[in-house]
Structure 1
Amino acid sequence: MIYLGHLPKHDQLYPYLCYDILSQFNLNGIKPDFRVYKLQASNHVYLYEERQSHIRLIGKFFSGISERTPDSAYRHMEREFNNLNHLRNLGFIGYPHYVARPLGHNAALNCVLIEEFCYGIPLSDFIMKAIRDGAREVLFRKLTSLAWFLSSLHNKTANGLPVDFNQDSNYFDRIMDQLKGLGYMEWDEANGFYRLRDRWREKGCMWEDQQVLVHGDVTPTNVLFGDGHWVIAIDLERMKMADRVFDVGRMAGEIKHCFMQYTGDKGIAEAFIGHFLWEYACHFPDRNSTFNSITRRVPFYMGLTLLRISRNSWVSDRYRRKLIDEARETLR
């Protein structure tokens, strides 16, 4: 988080925050003064802290993103605003499962979404403490809480329709196109991945479950934890109907990546991944059957996640090769 200074009163955002957003907090008799902080995120995300009341707001701007048209920015803003409201309407408004409260959105201000600031510790911090300080038991407990949250989200939103694995195959192809376009993968290697994708598409287990609402971007930085089983979900612009293992496998892949990156030993992650999957399965009538079902499908989504991470510009060439090789092994 980088401190940028104070929001100028002549900035068009200032009256919007004052009259449309702060009015929801029943503040009287103050002249708002906002400190501004830049947050690390894929979008343009800022923290606005009103100096006197100490109210904190998150401003997420969807315009100004590379290769995003104005229409696309508007759709992203609307989608996340509606997704936040939808989950809150489903009951994610208190302990132990919470979704950040949207306070407003404005297309005229660079497609900004304003939501409440949520206090919590990201899962990434607990992973790093397990790696650096040996705090394994705390990470196990937080993964138990996360499994409960995801199973609650998925089970509340199942629609009875069969999953369409073609959608995830198409997403796989988009990731591959990006890797090839960036020069990170040659055609011969890509063809090998396409053959693995086709083998997964032939498996009946990839089509057997029903659609649920998935977070869509459940990463260690997009999940916050409080005391006990508190879980707070943020960044919901990619929420969609899909296979529940889209989320579960994404998180398993992220955990493996973290241990690969910071310890060089992917095997250390296995105990945490297995615990997370077993805890997820406990929220179903037949735990063993559910565990067997999701673990049959998890490798595809783990491999997809590793490929997805390998696209990032911050990834070194050496580690990118390690991610791609591990993705291939996982998909096999």
Structure 2
Amino acid sequence: MASRHVNTLSPGDPFRDWLVEEVVGHRLRNKTCSVNVFKYNSSHTVCRYQFRGENFSVMAKFFAEPTGRLKDYNPHKGMMNEYRNLRKAASVINVAKPLAVNKKFNCVLVTEHIPGKSLAWYFSHEEKLYEKLAAVAHMLRQLHENTKSSYNKENEFRNYHDVLDHLKLDHDTRESFNKLLGQWWYSPLLNREHGCMVHRDVTPSNYIFCKGKPYALDFESSWFQAHPVRDLGILSAELKNEFELHKGSGWKAEPYIGNFLWEYSSDEKDFKYITGVLPFFMSIGLLRSARLHQDNYRDYLIKEARECLKAIN
């Protein structure tokens, strides 16, 4: 994710001094160092704070400074929710560990900064992509297997309808989705005994490879009691979208998607089950992407999402 230098903080700046004195001071040799600030494009103000001369940085996300469409929400609740989600996930997989929260500084969450290349970089360069997707698949399996819980099927469908509401589709298109969703609801395909914690925001920019290991970022929208294939469907949709936009055809993503699902699966029976329910969640992923596009490409994603739902058997 690209960033730009926006400021340099010196001793005496309240936020810089809080970071040094209460959050990361034990990591610094020179506690009087200045701090470079790099800003990222995100749904909130997100900055990296680089401690000069220390070869060390942290990330800060300010929940009371939303920059996206969603502005009417409780920033303190959002801050604490992601803090708890990160702590839970950190007990199971590699994440950007949470270091501190502070309501006074616009509800800030401070985490480790993980240096390295993102999965998005490997998407666009198509370099070692099988290997990197396999690593993410194994990490997601670990997260899902070690956070088993009850399962809330209703929530999966409620979320699907929320995404459709956001798209403001014409009456006939919406009715066609409603009819297909009814078929999925009454099918046993999405029934299961256990749910789990899912990352949910499985975008390629939220996975960083550092020293060969994948790290997951941004657990603000993470869910519990969820279907594990949700994460697989979202990432598969992201792959298809990337190849359609930048590689000539979404079909070129199929070998990567198939291998990603195989690496996640425990055996052939598991792979068959996953591929059976994947279209439902891949459809959600395509509709999520449609919210970010206009005109013909938006229509293409909506059409592909509907075709996915038709794959029910």
Partner of 1:49, secondary structure, is strand
In the TM superposition, residue 320 of structure 1 has moved relative to its aligned partner by 0.9
Of 74, 83, 86 in structure 2, the residue corresponding to residue 84 of structure 1 is 86
CA contact under 8 A between 2:39 and 2:48: conserved in structure 1? yes
Q: 1-side partners of 2:86 and 2:141: how far apart?
A: 18
Residue 74 (structure 1) aligns with: 76
Q: 2-side partners of 1:67 and 1:288: how far apart?
A: 41
What one-letter code is carried by the residue in structure 1 that aligns with 2:5? Y
1:165 matches 2:153 = yes
Q: 1-side partners of 2:139 and 2:53: how far apart?
A: 35
Identity %: 30
What one-letter code is carried by the residue in structure 2 that aligns with 1:48? Y
Q: 1-side partners of 2:101 and 2:264: how far apart?
A: 34
Residue 40 (structure 1) aligns with: 41
Partner of 1:63, secondary structure, is strand
CA contact under 8 A between 1:45 and 1:59: conserved in structure 2? yes
Alpha-carbon deviations, 1:73-112, whole Å to 9, x = none? Answer: 111110111111122234x3xxxxx111211110111110
The TM-score normalised by the length of structure 2 is: 0.92
What one-letter code is carried by the residue in structure 1 that aligns with 2:296? R
The TM-score normalised by the length of structure 1 is: 0.87
Q: How many equivalent pairs are there?
A: 305
Residue 326 (structure 1) aligns with: 304
Q: 2-side partners of 1:248 and 1:170: how far apart?
A: 19
1:13 matches 2:9 = no
Residue 291 (structure 1) aligns with: 271
Residue 262 (structure 1) aligns with: 246
Q: 2-side partners of 1:69 and 1:324: how far apart?
A: 27
CA contact under 8 A between 1:164 and 1:207: conserved in structure 2? no
In the TM superposition, residue 69 of structure 1 has moved relative to its aligned partner by 4.2
Query: Which shifted more, 4-13 or 196-205?
Result: 4-13
Alpha-carbon deviations, 1:216-246, whole Å to 9, x = none? Answer: 1111110112344x11011011222200001
1:308 matches 2:288 = yes
Structure 1 296/311 Cα, relative in aligned 2: closer, same or farther at 3 Å?
Answer: same
Q: 2-side partners of 1:123 and 1:53: how far apart?
A: 27
Residue 60 (structure 1) aligns with: 61
What one-letter code is carried by the residue in structure 1 that aligns with 2:302? I
In the TM superposition, residue 199 of structure 1 has moved relative to its aligned partner by 1.2
Alpha-carbon deviations, 1:279-329, whole Å to 9, x = none? Answer: 100xx3xx01111111111001001111111112xx232211111111111
In the TM superposition, residue 263 of structure 1 has moved relative to its aligned partner by 2.4
Residue 255 (structure 2) aligns with: 271
In the TM superposition, residue 44 of structure 1 has moved relative to its aligned partner by 1.2
Residue 98 (structure 2) aligns with: 102
Of 123, 128, 141 in structure 1, the residue corresponding to residue 124 of structure 2 is 128
1:149 matches 2:126 = no
What one-letter code is carried by the residue in structure 2 that aligns with 1:121? K
In structure 1, the gaps of 5 or more residues are 93-97
